[in-house]
Each structure stands twice: as C-alpha cells, then as structure tokens.
Amino acid sequence: MAGRTTRTGNLPAEATSFIGRRRQLAELRKKLAVGRLVSLVGPGGVGKSRVAVRGATDLGRGFKDGAWLVELAEVRDPTLVSNAVMAALDLRDQAATEPLKLVLSYLKDKSLLLVVDNCEHLLGAAAHLVSEVIRVAPDVRVIATTREPLSVPGEHVVAVPPLELPSAHATEPLNQLRQNEAVMLFVERAEAASGNFELTAANQSVVADLCRRLDGLPLAIELAAVRTRVLTVEQIFDRLSDRFGLLTGGGRAALPRHQTLQTAIDWSHELLTRAERTLLRRLCVFAGRFTIGDVESVCSEDGAAADVLDLLSSLVDKSLVMKEDTKGVACYRLHETMREYAAHKVREAGEEEVLKDRCTEYYVSRCRRTALQARFGLLEWLAWMDVEIDNIRSVLRQCLVQSDSVNGIDLATSLSWYWITRATTEGVRWLDELLASGPGNPQTIAWTYFIRGFLAVLQGDWTGARPRLEMAIAAARDAGQPIPLAHSLTMASIADNMAGDRMSAGRFLDEAQAVAAEADDVATTVGILQARALKGAIEGDFETVKFVATEGARLSREVGDLYALHMMLLNLGGAALAAGDLNDSKRRYEEALRIAYKIDDRIGQFYLLAALAYHATISGQPRVAAQLLGASETIRIGAGATVMAVLAPFIAQAEESARAALGASKCAAEFEIGRRLSRDDAVRLALGESHAVAASSDHAGPGVLGKREADVARLVADGLTNKQIGARLFISERTVDSHVRNILNKLGVNTRAQIAGWIGSSNQ
C-alpha cells in the first residue's frame, strides 16, 4: 500500500472498453461547467459507474489535483462514508482528527474532481458529506452515481438511461448496426466469452431483437452474451422470449425495466447447477471483497470446500461474480445488483442467520489467532486487513446490533495494529461503542483496555488514556496476567510522562520493569525500552536514550517487529543528533524512513522527512530541505496530526535555515513544489535516490511553472479572461487570479501580454 497512489488521482484503468454514452458524457461535461455537483441517476444495471469513470477520466485533466474515485458499494455503515472518502484520497486516520474533518481540511484548497459511486444505500450520509465538501472546497467538483438524487442544494441531475437500441421497424445496414451501443456491448462480450463470435448478416436481426428484448440494460446484455459460449444467439433469444412470454401472458408487451433485468438474472440463475446457485446466494454474506479462503470457510456446502474453486471459477466465467487482483491476491466481489439478488435468494432459503453466524465465527476466530503475532509479520497482516476490512467492519456492526459484546470486543481488540497504523479514530469509536454494549471476555478484557489507552496516547489524549490504562491494569491483576499488566503499566508511564507527571510516570515504569522481569517476553521488554527512551529524551539524558534504543533496535530486528524498530531508530537518530554526530543521525533516520514507508506509517514519514530536511540544511541543500518540509507538511495534514513538542524546534530551525539561504519567496516556491510531491518521490528525495529536484524559480524555463499554472498561462496567451479560464478548467475565478499572480511573480513579468510572449518563446 505504501506510496502506490499518485497525487493526480486514483481512477481505475478500465478493464473493458467503454460503449457509447456520448450524449450523457456531453451533458455531464456541460452540467459540470456550471455546477459543483452532478448526479448520474438511473436504476441498477444501467452502467452509471462506467459513465462516471469515463467522464472523470476525460475531465480529470482539467483539475490540478486530478480525479478521485470513492466506491461506496462495499460500505454498509453510514458512519463510515467519510472513512471511504479519506481512504480514496490516500489520507490516513492516524491521529485524533475525525475523518470528515480531515477530509474537509484536505480538500478546502484543492482543485479536483471527486466521483462518489453507488450512493443509493447510504443516501443521507452521502448527501451530507457531499454538501459539506461543496460548502468548504470551492474548487472541488463532485460526480455522484445513485438511483435517486441526493437532493443537495445546487445538484444537477443527468439521467442515465439504458443503452441506445437498434431500430425496431427496419433492418439496419450491418455497418450501421455495428455502431449501435447495445449491439456493440453484446458483440464485445460475446467475443470475449466464446472467442469466435461475429456479427454477420445472418445473425444481425436476432442480435438486434435480443438487445431490444433486454431493453438495452448493460448488465442484462452481458449476462446473455456470456451464454454464447454454449448457446447460439437464436437459442438465447428463444429461451429468454419464453420467460418474458410467461410474464406477459404470452404476448410481447414490454415489462418495466427493473423486471426486465430481474428476468434476465433469473434466467441466468436457473441455468446454474444447484451447487452454483447455492454458492452464488451465499456470497452476499461478504460486504466487500473476498478470497477463495473466505469462501471455503464461510460458504462451502456443509463445510466441504473441495469444489469451491471450480464453482467460483464457473460463476466468474458467467459474469455473475467479478474477479480482481489486489496486491497479488485474487479477490472477488459481487456487482451491487447481483448482491441484492443473492440476498433475496438467501432469505428465501432461510440461510440468512446461519450465514451471518458463520461469517462472525470465521472472522473473530481468524483475527484472534493472529492478534498477538501480527506485529511480527506486520506487512503481510496489514495486506490481508486491507482486503478484508469491509467484511470485518460488517461483522463488528452485526455484533453491535445483536449486543454480541464478547465477540465484538474481542474482534475489535484483535485489530489493534490496524487501528494503530491505519484507523485510530475509527478504532476508538468501535471500542467505545462495543464496550458500552455489554461485558467483554474476562480473559481478554485487559488487552482491550490497554489498546484503548494506547490509541488515546497516539491521539495525544493523555488524560483520556489514564482511566483506560488503570482499568487495564486492574483487569490484568484480577486475571493474573503479567504480560498485559506490564504493557499497561508501561503505557501508563508513557502517558504520564507526556502529560508532565514525572513522578507518577516513574512509579509506573518501575513496576512495569519488575513485572516484565518475570514475564520473559520480547514485546514487553521492547515496550519498556521505548518508555525509558522517551523518559531520557524528556530529561535530556541522550546517553540513556542511545543505550536503551540500541538494545530495543536489536531486539526488534531479531523478531521482525518493524513498527518498534522504526521507533527505536527514530530515538537513535535523535540521540546522535543531540551528540553532534550528524552522519550517524542521518543514517538512523534514513533506515527508519525506509521502514516507515514500507509499513506506510504516515506519522513516522512526517517526522522523518522533517528530520532529514534539517540534515539537508546542514549539508548545504536548502532547496531539498524546503521541498522535504513541504512534503512532510502534506503528509502531516493528510494524517490529521499535530507537531510533537519535542520535535518542533528542529522543524522550525530547518524552516529558518532554508528561508535564510533561499530568501522568503524562493523558499515558499520550493516548499510548494515539495508539498505537491508524491510520497514515493518525497521519500526518494529524502534518501538521495532521486536527483530530479523540481525546477526552482532560479530559471525561467518551461519547468518553472506547475502543471496547472502552465495551463493557465497558455489560456492567458490565447486571450481568455480569468472568468473564461475558470470555466474552461473548472476552477473558480478567484483561483485563476491567484495562479496568474503566481505566474507573474515566477516569470518576473508585470503584464498578461508578457506572459503570452513568454509562452510564445518557450514553444519555439
């Protein structure tokens, strides 16, 4: 996950070609030029998502910060809509900032296009989020896909009908028929399914009739086309016509479109074997993506998993299940319309409750098994969690609804390393809600309170951490559990030290060391070493910091605890810096940054980029320093973090040194360049692996202007006014004016005519 999302957008490469929709795309472009929100509205199965993605792909180039896709189909909890937007924008809930506040803070000065897909089942929450984005972010445009409008002020609605149908009154010339949207889709999918399908004069009439019979509904057409693998088009048409005839009393009367789609799905469903039908309906238990292992454990017939792979492969071949690769793992999911259909079949079969119970048991038991060892295989565990998180969230919600506090609390507790590195405020919310729903497991409740206190410490809530950690200490004593007791005492020491209560912190740490001496547990020992390093840093005793952090780094490296290792290296870098050993400090910081990047710890990346910016100022690289400070600031904002007091002086000194060396305006320009670097590029720059520092304002060549500034400059040269430029680029007139002023400053010119002259000379 680390660093893989660019800062220009996250739109997917289309797996299949896009068919037609010229009219809807033109209307989308027109509406977006005059409004902030355009909702693509239509029933399920008409292809709203594809229209939105294609439109965003075409229009995204007009936005400085690109186009971004938020997929809500797999989100079942309205309270998690902001989390979905945050994740799509590559932001991180790793501090104390609530997701919605973090999203709005990030977007307020951005120029981007946001696609919010599949809003219909979360209409109220989606409408609230979109209205807030529009309120605070003047240069953000939103495309929403939904079955009904969001009813947000200023919303423009574009209806997405089924595909254009071939004429019903005359035989169209073959070349003309090949250009019809519905026919194009059928032919494309049939070619993919059978390998040798071709539209000919012999079959053109029946293909046209079939597309009309299916009302041009893309999902229905795809389900029919895939059957060309075993049936002729004539056979498909005859069998579907028989079904429609039964519903219309033998006539050819038109059905409502939703019933047309239902009939097409029913027909496809009835062609499945009994085992395929059983598996298909049971797959709806997964809220998000799922793997073959998940299916074998939760959905297999009477626990027999031997045939699941073949059955799942068959459903994929029939376009009833979608396959996608995620980080080298084959994952599967259901189209939202198919999920609704499968859920209906599950209720008919009376399997709903047993499937939910199986799903809960599977995820609770699997997460329990891996909880204590997750930190020693963090990369693999986080990769699994990134795939499964929507399913796990669904189970957590189910436990909350059913007041299954024991399973719910245990599950939330076992996800501690996900909350620590990926979703701190979300973890706090789940733990608080579940703890309020009923009692937990006496054997694990000490860990629960410890994790809740740990998350409070990460959020800088020292006073909030104390009562939770005291409860953890009491529970561990009652259960006779020395390891969670030592961890809780250690974290209480850290919290009190950060709160300024040195005496209490010392007592907790002394007791933790006494308990740990009997436990013989590496993780416990490393925790105590971290607490001692923090105590030494606060007291200015960097010899102690160096001593304990060296031992902590050795132990962490031996057991593969990457999170603890990068924290220990951060401590060692600070100790070396305090001792004046700049080379050793830089070496420690660079190794820590590589680890923080690998596990995608954004807080660690923020501090380490800032620390290496300080080193850049000392080594006479003020431009690099300014850019790294800009990049670190972007990461800090994207994680909702604040600057820790102990590191604030170093950041301030780096900023002052860069400003003194470059001058205020050039330093600000380099800072802005760094602010727009991708995390990949920022890390490479910090590690000295990239020498391609972006062009500075020292040279008025083509690279002096950012991409959006260059776009504005070209339109200025074309004679457009600020208002006209804003309409062309989908940004406000105020933002255009700001860009023009920046361009004048960077080029050292005073008039728009001089900008035009510079554009002309740079193009020669």
Least confident of 166-175, 183-192, 510-519: 166-175
Cα-flanking dihedrals φ and ψ of residue 93, to 5°? Answer: -85, 85
| Mean local confidence (pLDDT), 464-471 | 97
pLDDT beyond 80 at 618: yes
Q: What is the pLDDT of residues 14-47, one digit of tens each?
A: 544 566 688 899 999 999 999 999 999 998 889 8
Cα-flanking dihedrals φ and ψ of residue 646, to 5°? Answer: -65, -25
pLDDT value, residue 650: 80
| Mean local confidence (pLDDT), 338-349 | 95
- Classify domain 702-762 by CATH number: 1.10.10.10
pLDDT beyond 70 at 427: yes
Q: Do domains 22-159 and 702-762 have the same CATH topology?
A: no
Spatial CB neighbours of 156, under 8 Å, sequence gap ≥ 6: 31, 32, 34, 35, 37, 38, 39
pLDDT value, residue 304: 57
Other C-beta atoms lying within 10 Å of the C-beta of residue 350: 8
pLDDT confidence band for 706 (50 / 70 / 90): confident
Token digits for 578?
């305090």
pLDDT value, residue 61: 81
Cα-flanking dihedrals φ and ψ of residue 220, to 5°? Answer: -65, -40
The percentage of the chain sitting over the pLDDT mark of 90, rounded to a whole number, equals 72
pLDDT value, residue 58: 86
Q: Which residues in 490-515 are b (16+ Cβ under 10 Å) and which e? A: bbbbbbbbbbebeebbeebbebbbeb
SS3 state at 77:
coil
SS (H, E, C) 90-156: CCCECCCCCHHHHHHHHHCCCCEEEEEECCHHHHHHHHHHHHHHHHHCCCEEEEEEECCCCCCCCEE
User: Nearest CA to 609 among 637, 575, 579?
Assistant: 637
Comparing 457 with 742, the larger pLDDT belongs to 457
pLDDT value, residue 478: 96
Token digits for 439?
């009692």
Spatial CB neighbours of 272, under 8 Å, sequence gap ≥ 6: 280, 315, 318, 320
Comparing 176 with 602, the larger pLDDT belongs to 602
User: Nearest CA to 386 among 425, 412, 423, 356?
Assistant: 423
Return the C-alpha torsion angle 468, 394, 7, 630, nearest 10: 0
SS3 state at 362:
helix
SS3 state at 442:
coil
Helix, strand, coil: what percent of the chain each, to 5?
A: 65, 5, 25
pLDDT confidence band for 8 (50 / 70 / 90): low
| Mean local confidence (pLDDT), 544-565 | 97
Token digits for 269?
């469903």
pLDDT confidence band for 172 (50 / 70 / 90): confident
| Mean local confidence (pLDDT), 647-667 | 90
pLDDT confidence band for 704 (50 / 70 / 90): low
Q: What's the rounded Cα separation, in Å, for the pair 195 and 650?
A: 64
pLDDT beyond 80 at 91: yes
Q: What's the rounded Cα separation, in Å, for the pair 711 and 466?
A: 54
The residues spanned by each domain of the chain are 22-159, 174-270, 274-350, 702-762
Confirm if 53 and 59 have CB atoms less than 8 A apart. no
Among 2.40.10.120, 3.40.50.300, 3.40.50.2300, 2.40.10.230, what is the CATH number of 22-159? 3.40.50.300
pLDDT confidence band for 708 (50 / 70 / 90): confident
| Mean local confidence (pLDDT), 298-327 | 85
pLDDT value, residue 4: 37
Tell me the CATH class for 274-350: mainly alpha
pLDDT beyond 60 at 698: no
